Structure 1
Amino acid sequence: MGLSILDHKEQPVAHGRKRLSTGVRLHYYVAGSGPALLLQHGIPKTSYYWRKVVPLLSEHFTIVVPDLRGIGDSTHPDSGYDMATVADDIAELMSELGHDKFHIIGEDWGAAAAYQVAARYPSRVQSLVFQEMLLPGFGLEEWAQFNPQRPETHLWHVAFYHVRDVPELLITGREREYFTWFIKNEAYDPTSIDDDAIEEYIRSASQPGGLRSIFNIYRATEANMAANKKAAEKSLKMPVLAIGSRDFIGREVEKQMQKVAENVSYKELNYGHQLAEECPNELAKLYREFLQSH
C-alpha cells in the first residue's frame, strides 16, 4: 500500500493476501498477539481506516484487518457484494489464518457484514461490536428518505448508489472532489480526516472496478434485507456492544441490535460517523473495556 501502519511497538504490521475458495483474493494485515480480533471497515474506506486504533489494541489482541471484497487491495469480482457472501469471505479468511474463534468489530458496512458473520457463524464469534450502521431491512432504507427531523443524517447516497450506471457516470474522474467532500461531511471534526487517509480512499475508489464494487454493495440491498430478516429469526447470544455517534446515527444503533441480539450494551461518543479517524483513543478505550470483559 505504501502507507505505514504501526503496532504498539511502532513496528510495521504484516501485510498479506489470501485466495479464497470462491477465487476472491483478500488483502489483509495482522499485528499483535493474544485473542483474535477482526476489524472491518466501512465504505468508501479501506483497511487503512483502522491505522490509528491498531497500535492501541495490538498489545492485547492478535488483530486481523482485511479489505472487504472489491475494496482497497482485495480483488474486484463481478458479484457477491451482499453481506452474507462478504461474511463467508471473512469467516474463510479467519480459518485460513488459523483463528477458529474471534471477536469482531465492524463499522458502517463493515458492521453490516459483521452482523452476518455473527449470525452465520455464532459458535465462532465471541463478541460483536456494531458501530454506526443501520441494517438493511431494519431501517437503512427508511433513512435513505428525507426526514426534516434528521436532515443532517439523510442517507441519500443509499438510494443514489443503488441506481445502476448513473453514479459511475457522474463520479468517474471526480473521485477526489466527491469522496473528499463525502467523507469529511460525515465527520463532526472534518480536520481529523488526514490527507493520507483521503488519498488512500481515493486510490481505492479510482482503480479499475473500484467504483463499481462500492456501488454494487448498495445494489445488493434487497438481498441484504432478506438475509437480515431471516437471520433475525434467531437472536444473537454473544455479547454485543453498539456504538453510536451523537452527531450521526447515535442511539439508533442500539435499537438495531436490540432487534437481533439478546445481550446488548450501548456507548455513545460526541463525534461524527468517522469515529476511528476522529477519536481513536476514546474509541479504543471502549473496545478494550468491552472485549477484555468478555
Structure 2
Amino acid sequence: MTIRTRDVGELDLHVLEAGQGPPVLMLHGWPQHAWCWRKVIPLLADHHRLICPDLRGFGWSEAPGTGYDPETFAADALALMDALDLDRAHVIAHDWGGFAAFLMALHRPERVDRMVILNTAAPWVDPSPALVPALARTWYVVALAVAGETLARSKPERMAESFRRDLVNPDAITPDDALAYARRLAKPQCAHATKMLYRSYLRAALEAMLRPRYQHMRLTRPTRFLFGTNDAAISPVMLRSMEDHADDLELELVDGAGHFIAEEQPGLVADRAKAFFA
C-alpha cells in the first residue's frame, strides 16, 4: 500500500493506493476517511488497483473554505481520475461518497464503469407519507448543520460513542477505532468541513422539496446497492423508488450490518464487488 498526496487542481487529496489491475475508486463517507476501507482493501488488492482518497476537508486531505457538497466531491473524484490518467474506473462508495458516486455516473457516465454503493441516500426521493417517520432519523442533520463544528471539536469521546450505536457487531469498529475517527474529525479544518457539509445538505434538501434536482436524470451505469438494514441514519423507505430511476440497479438488503457495512461485513462487500467487476 502506498500513501501519497495528489494535486487535483485547486486542492491536494490524501490518497491510499494498493493492488494492480482494473482501477477501482473507493469513496468514503462521514465521519470517516480512507482508513474505513482497511478491511476491504486486502480482499480486493490481488485483482484491482484500489484508489482511496480522503474527501476534501476530511482525513488528511486539504480543507479549503468551500466546496462541501456532493457535487464538488464528485468533481474532485473526477479530477483525481484525471490526475491519475484514468479514463474510466469502477467505483465502491459509501454514504457521502456514495452520493458523489451517483452524481459522477449521472453527469459523466462515460467515466464510470460499474458501481457498488453502500448505505447511501439516493439522489431520487419521491414524496410519500411513508417518508415522514424515515425523515425522523435525520435529526442529526440539523444538529450538525447548526453545531457540527462545536460538537466535533469539543466532544470527540461523545462523537465516538455515537458512531458505534447501530453496530450489529460491536467489534467491527472498536472504541479505539471510533475514537481515532472522532479525534481526526476534531481537527479544526475537519470540524469546519462537517458543519459546512451538513449546512449545504440541509439547504439542498429544503430546495429539493420545491424543485427536485435529479428526478429527471436517469442512472445508466450498472449498479449494485448493498444496504445494512440496521442503519440508524437512513431508512430503507428512502430507497423505494431508486430502481425506477435506473437502467440496471439491484438492491440487496444485508442483515447483520448497520450504516458502516464495509467494516461490519467486509467479506460480503468484497465478494459482491469481485463478482460484479469481473
TM-score scaled by length of structure 2: 0.88
**Who is 1:237 aligned against?**
220
1:168 lines up with 2:156 in the alignment: no
Structure 1 equivalent of residue 63 of structure 2: 76
Pick from 254, 264, 270 the counterpart of residue 278 of structure 1: 264
Rounded Cα–Cα distance in structure 2 between residues aligned with 1:259 and 1:156:
27
TM-superposed deviation, 1:257: 3.1
Q: Distance in 1 between matches of 2:23 and 2:258?
A: 28
Match 1:103 to one of 90, 94, 106: 90
Distance across 1 between alignment mates of 2:270 and 2:124? 29
* Aligned 1:140-219 pairs, distance under 5 A: 147=133, 154-163=137-146, 166-175=147-156, 177-219=157-199
Q: Percent sequence identity over matched residues? A: 29
Q: Matched residues in 2 for 1:185 and 1:32: separation? A: 33
Separation in 2 of the partners of 1:238 and 1:42? 21
Q: Is the 8 A contact 1:31 1:63 kept in 2?
A: yes
Per the alignment, in what secondary structure is the counterpart of residue 245 of structure 2?
Answer: coil
Does structure 1 conserve the Cα–Cα contact (< 8 Å) formed by 2:73 and 2:97? no
Q: Which moved more, 1:252-261 or 1:281-290?
A: 252-261
Asked if structure 1 preserves the Cα contact closer than 8 Å seen for 2:92 and 2:115, the reply is yes
C-alpha separation in 2, matches of 1:211 and 1:122: 32
- Cα separation, partners in 2 of 1:184 and 1:139, compared to 1, 3 Å: farther
CA, structure 1 residues 64+209, in 2 after alignment: closer, same or farther (shift >3 Å)?
Answer: same
Please name the residue that 1:90 is paired with.
77
CA RMSD of aligned residues (A): 2.6
> What is the CA deviation profile of residues 63-115 of structure 1, one whole-angstrom value per residue up to 9, with x for unaligned ones?
00000000000011110111111111000101111211001111111111111
* 12, 15, 22: which one aligns with 2:3: 15
Letter aligned with residue 172 of structure 1: R
Q: 1:240 to 1:195 in 2, by over 3 A?
A: same
- Which residues of structure 2 form unaligned runs of 5+? none
The alignment's TM-score, normalised by the length of structure 1, stands at 0.83
Residue from 247, 253, 267 that aligns with 1:268: 253
Q: Please, which of 115, 126, 129 is the counterpart of residue 128 of structure 1?
A: 115
* Structure 2 residue identity aligned to 1:48: W
**Structure 1: which 5+ runs fail to align?**
1-12
Deviation, 1:20, is 2.1
Please give the alpha-carbon distance, in whole angstroms, between the structure 2 residues aligned to 1:203 and 1:102: 32
Q: Distance in 1 between matches of 2:248 and 2:80?
A: 27
Matched residue count: 270
CA contact (8 A) 1:70 1:209 kept: yes
Quote the residue 1:288 is aligned against: 274
Task: State the alpha-carbon separation in 2 of the partners of residues 283 and 84 from structure 1.
Answer: 25
Change (3 A) 1:258 1:82: same
CA distance in 1: counterparts of 2:126 and 2:186, whole angstroms = 30
**CA offsets per residue over residues 119-142 of structure 1, 9 Å max, x none?**
1211010112221111366279x9
The AA in structure 1 aligned to 2:143 is F
* Partner SS state of residue 18, structure 1: strand
SS in 1 for 2:230: coil
Asked if 1:42 is matched to 2:29, the reply is yes
Give the conservation status (yes or no) of the 8 Å contact 2:105–2:220.
no
Contact 1:242 1:257 in 2 (8 A): no
